Amino acid sequence: MYKAIINLLYNLKSFNFLFIFLILIHYSCAGGAPTKTVISESSIKAMQETSELNSKLMMQGSTSSKGASSPADYLVGPADLLEVKVYESDKLSDTVRVSSRGSITLPLIGNVYLSGLSAREAEQLIETELKNKGYIVNPNVTVFIKEYNSKQVSVVGYVGSPGTYSLEGRETLLDVLVETKGFSDQAGRTIYVSRTESDGNGQTYMVDMEELLLKGNSDLNIELKPGDIIYVPSSGNVYIAGAVRNTGSYPLTGEFTTLSQIITTAGGTSSYANNSDVKIIRYLGDGKREIILVDLEKMLNGVVEDVLVKDRDAIIVGASGTKKLLYGLTLGLGFGLFRIGYTPPEK
């Protein structure tokens, strides 16, 4: 019996400490007596898959472009902490935080607006100010960014360390996921990156981590922008967006979860919804997806059967007639990504 356990552990691609712990506890409590295993084959497979994803993720981290990212890529913004060194005078050197208006205050010079400048451009501006005011003929200034606070992204869901992370230059999705210490055993294989553009319009990118990490589709490794929200749901979830009251990811409640159940869980459709324009985007494997058109109006009236939803489905509820002038929904493939775009309606 113990030999069988050892052989099982040996055949795993990567040892999972939680798995080993549970096996040992199970058999120690049973005193070696034959009992039904407490871990299903599907759980073992999920652990193996997660372990493989994390292994690939950490390998990506070791060769990530982040380590080679130049500080020149970073543009100063509010809340950043800067160390300003004036080599000709220690009294003019200071460590200052960028104000909400994008400026800092330095001895003798006063307010200097630095928001949107690189560290080198900030150095040149301060040198020019010192020279123009007649304090130093040929000043030499360095600006070192001690804290990167103005450009942050949030990671929520099933990762090792969810939270807020600072972008220290041009960073990608994998750069930040490495910082979160990888996926938990419950993590799903499709993650969502939500972004609000400067015009208020939103984009949600659906990223297949198997395609990105296991099959090497680098087009899916999108460059992140400040304010992005990365959501890693648990497995057995569907995503719903568009004209519903509460967009987001929802768990499948059973083997036969239906479309109407998910919409109800999301608070129902919005007042501007077009119940005849519902799309289910279904993952087919190998990076492929299909779009299933559903007439929710007929379904609710019993004309057509309720549709079963599956893990990793994305449900999009369209907007009605005149409301389309206020609410626009776009679907598209860009750089290998499935993208959902939307324009929030006027209240």
Q: Find the CATH number of the domain harbouring 93.
A: 3.30.1950.10
Flag whether pLDDT at 196 surpasses 90.
no
Tell whether 69 is covered by a domain.
no
For the stretch 124-144, pLDDT in tens is: 999 999 999 888 889 999 999
Burial class (CB in 10 A: 0-12, 13-18, 19+), 284: exposed
For the stretch 264-290, pLDDT in tens is: 999 999 888 888 889 998 988 777 788
Flag whether pLDDT at 170 surpasses 90.
no
CA pair distance 87, 126, nearest whole angstrom: 12
Q: Are strands 337-343 and 328-334 parallel, antiparallel or unpaired?
A: antiparallel
Strand order in the sheet with 94-97: 94-97, 81-86, 141-147
Higher pLDDT, 5 or 195: 195
Percentage of the chain lying above the pLDDT 70 cut: 76
Q: What confidence score (pLDDT) does residue 302 get? A: 86
Residues 68-77 as b/e (b if ≥16 CB within 10 A, e otherwise) read ebeeeebbbb
Flag whether pLDDT at 309 surpasses 60.
yes
Residues 314-328 as b/e (b if ≥16 CB within 10 A, e otherwise) read bbbbbbbeebbeebe
Average pLDDT along the chain: 81
Shared-domain flag, residues 201 and 103:
no
Shared-domain flag, residues 241 and 197:
yes
Shared-domain flag, residues 132 and 217:
no
For the stretch 199-237, pLDDT in tens is: 777 788 889 898 899 888 888 999 999 999 999 998 888
Tell whether 311 is covered by a domain.
yes
Tell whether 205 is covered by a domain.
yes
Q: What confidence score (pLDDT) does residue 344 get? A: 58
Q: What confidence score (pLDDT) does residue 342 get? A: 61
For the stretch 72-122, pLDDT in tens is: 678 999 999 999 999 998 889 999 999 999 999 998 889 999 999 999 999
Shared-domain flag, residues 171 and 313:
yes
Flag whether pLDDT at 189 surpasses 50.
yes
Shared-domain flag, residues 16 and 114:
no
Contacts with 325 (C-beta within 8 Å, 6 or more apart), sequence order: none
Point out the least confidently predicted range of 37-41, 57-61, 305-309: 37-41
Chosen domain end from 147, 174, 200 = 147
For the stretch 6-51, pLDDT in tens is: 444 444 444 344 444 444 444 444 454 454 545 556 567 667 778 8
pTM for the predicted model, two decimal places: 0.73
Tell whether 6 is covered by a domain.
yes
The mean per-residue pLDDT over the stretch 243-252 comes to 88
Shared-domain flag, residues 306 and 171:
yes
Flag whether pLDDT at 343 surpasses 70.
no
Q: Find the CATH number of the domain harbouring 305.
A: 3.10.560.10
Query: Residue 102 is part of which domain span?
Result: 75-147
Shared-domain flag, residues 282 and 186:
yes
Closest CA to 245 of 262, 229, 232, 226: 262
CA pair distance 266, 277, nearest whole angstrom: 17
Number of domains in the chain: 3
Shared-domain flag, residues 132 and 167:
no
Q: What confidence score (pLDDT) does residue 331 get? A: 61
Query: How large is the angle between the packed helices 17-30 and 2-11, nearest 10 degrees?
Result: 170
Shared-domain flag, residues 82 and 39:
no
Q: What confidence score (pLDDT) does residue 115 get? A: 95
Tell whether 139 is covered by a domain.
yes
Point out the least confidently predicted range of 164-168, 240-244, 271-275, 337-341: 337-341
Shared-domain flag, residues 136 and 166:
no
Shared-domain flag, residues 198 and 161:
yes
The mean per-residue pLDDT over the stretch 169-180 comes to 92
